[in-house]
Amino acid sequence: MKIRVPATSANLGPGFDSCGLALSRYLTIEVIKEDTKWTVEHELGKTIPQDEQNLLVQAAQTVAPALKPHHVKMSSSIPIASGVGSSSSVIVAGIELANRLENLNLTERQKIEIATSIEGHPDNCTPAICGDFVVASYFFSENKPTVHYVKHYFPECRVIAYIPNSQVLTKESRGVLPETLSFSEAVKASSIANVMIAAVLNGDLLLAGQMMEQDRWHEAYREKFVPHLGTIRQIVKRNGGYAAFLSGAGPTVLVLTSEEKADLITYELEQMGGSARIEQLSFDREGVQVF
């Protein structure tokens, strides 16, 4: 059995902790055999545990505490700590691993609720499960955690990822965010997000892109972690792209553009210098898959 989970990009600018996209980079888990202890075989670096301390196993045991140990193989083309959902992909894979090995028949909603309770917000884990573009909320109602989500087709366009070789930990990036916003500022931030989502649903990427670059929730506070964002936006604007925005907590920046302008923008990004990979991606429309 193999489980495949897509990378994701959260926020899309003003859709903070709510909006997410599934992308065509993948974590794959292959179940080798049942064993006497957990082994997570991988080549992702010494900092990633290869035993029961691995996040994959911890997520699986959250779903099924009595799950028997297995030897599994993990491979991933999703950069770690780069803002494209590397941890969410592992959490979703662990939930699906327990679901399949224990024949739990979890619904999509149940998987999303479990993943969100582990991660704390739904913007990465929900598109990893559903695929495509997802808008979700997570809050407590009558002392119970509640998740609401809507999946929708994201209009076809090219996605260019500017992925610095440096990493930004989500905890560190969240630490610079303000405790509160004024009521008037929150209204502005919310209205921008609302228009962005409505434009996506209407297939209007020109308007959606304008709103994606007007975020008031988080990007301004994270500028010190992403000094390249301003330069990338200048390149995108000069060449008629739709938008550039911080992917998740960064440092990856995503660019949305039409197909005919993608190669030129990619070329100019490559001329920026610095230590980064530039990749053209597509949307993953299906989410987690089992083979």
* pLDDT score, position 139: 87
* 229 and 168 co-located in one domain: yes
* 44 and 59 co-located in one domain: yes
Strands 19-34 and 39-41 come out as: unpaired
* pLDDT score, position 45: 85
For residues 79 and 252, the answer to whether their CB atoms sit within 8 Å is yes
* pLDDT score, position 35: 96
Secondary structure of the chain as H, E, C letters: CEEEEEEEEECCCCCCCCEEEEEEEEEEEEEEEECCCCEEECCCCCCCCCCCCCHHHHHHHHHCCCCCCEEEEEEECCCCCCCCCHHHHHHHHHHHHHHHHCCCCCCHHHHHHHHHHHHCCCCCHHHHHHCCEEEEEEEEECCEEEEEEEEECCCCCEEEEEEECCCCCHHHHHCCCCCCCCHHHHHHHHHHHHHHHHHHHHCCHHHHHHHHCCCCCCHHHHHHHCCCHHHHHHHHHHCCCCEEEECCCCCCEEEEECHHHHHHHHHHHHCCCCCEEEEEECECCCCCEEC
Give the chain's domain count.
2
Per-residue pLDDT of the chain (291 residues; tens, 9 = 90+): 999 999 999 999 999 999 999 999 999 999 999 999 999 999 998 889 999 999 999 999 999 999 999 999 999 999 888 889 999 999 999 999 999 999 999 999 999 999 999 998 999 999 999 999 999 999 887 777 889 999 999 999 999 999 998 776 666 778 899 999 999 999 999 999 999 999 999 999 999 999 999 999 999 999 888 889 999 999 999 999 999 999 998 899 999 999 999 999 999 999 997 789 999 999 999 999 999
* pLDDT score, position 231: 95
219 lies in which domain range?
158-281
* 180 and 233 co-located in one domain: yes
**CATH number of the domain that residue 185 is part of:** 3.30.70.890
For residues 254 and 245, the answer to whether their CB atoms sit within 8 Å is yes
* 142 and 172 co-located in one domain: no
**CATH number of the domain that residue 34 is part of:** 3.30.230.10
* 194 and 226 co-located in one domain: yes
* 9 and 147 co-located in one domain: yes
For residues 30 and 2, the answer to whether their CB atoms sit within 8 Å is yes
User: For 44, what's the count of Cα atoms within 13 Å in the CB-facing half-sphere?
Assistant: 23
Q: Which residues on adjacent β-strands are paired with residue 217?
A: none
The pTM (predicted TM-score) of the whole model is 0.94
* 9 and 145 co-located in one domain: yes
* pLDDT score, position 170: 65
* 134 and 183 co-located in one domain: no
* 7 and 146 co-located in one domain: yes
